[in-house]
């Protein structure tokens, strides 16, 4: 399995509540609709909770502002992910997701990468 990780920062001017609502209620169903053509094995949204505990942890570690959330998308293999670039239907679905992301995600401030989980404690 290979995982794509996308750290999300909301668009400036978009409230935290509106960001999380859009991501969960509008964008997630769009991902579900395209899961087969995009060969998605698993999709998880991690919605950041900014509260006193988060602030204390950040202060202790002297860390920057957190991302608004993290999307994790699993694929069977690297080859499965690469093959999407050769599939016209997958290209169309990917374009639709990208256009929707631009409605609530500051894409220029939201890094994306692929990697593999290395369980240490499970």
Domain locations in the chain as residue ranges: 2-68+93-115
Read off the tokens for 44: 């998880």
Residues of the chain with pLDDT under 70: none
pTM for the full model? 0.91
Report how far apart, in Å, the C-alpha atoms of 84 and of each of 16, 42, 115, 122 are: 32, 16, 17, 31
Distances 122 to 2, 117, 118 between C-alpha atoms, Å: 18, 11, 10
Report pLDDT for 73: 98
pLDDT at 58: 86
pLDDT of residue 50: 82
Question: Which pLDDT belongs to residue 51?
Answer: 87
- The pair phi, psi for residue 15, each rounded to 5°, is -70, 160
């Amino acid at each position: 399995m290979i995982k794509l990780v996308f750290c999300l920062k909301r668009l400036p001017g978009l409230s935290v509540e509106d960001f999380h609502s859009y991501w969960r209620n509008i964008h997630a169903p769009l991902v579900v609709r395209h899961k087969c053509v995009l060969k998605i094995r698993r999709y998880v949204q991690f919605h950041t909770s900014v509260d006193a505990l988060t602030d204390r942890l950040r202060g202790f570690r002297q860390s920057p502002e957190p991302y608004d959330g993290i999307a994790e998308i699993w694929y069977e293999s690297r080859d499965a992910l690469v093959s999407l670039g050769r599939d016209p239907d997958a290209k169309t679905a990917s374009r639709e997701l990208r256009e929707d992301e631009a409605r609530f995600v500051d894409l220029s401030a939201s890094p994306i990468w692929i990697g593999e989980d290395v369980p240490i404690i499970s």
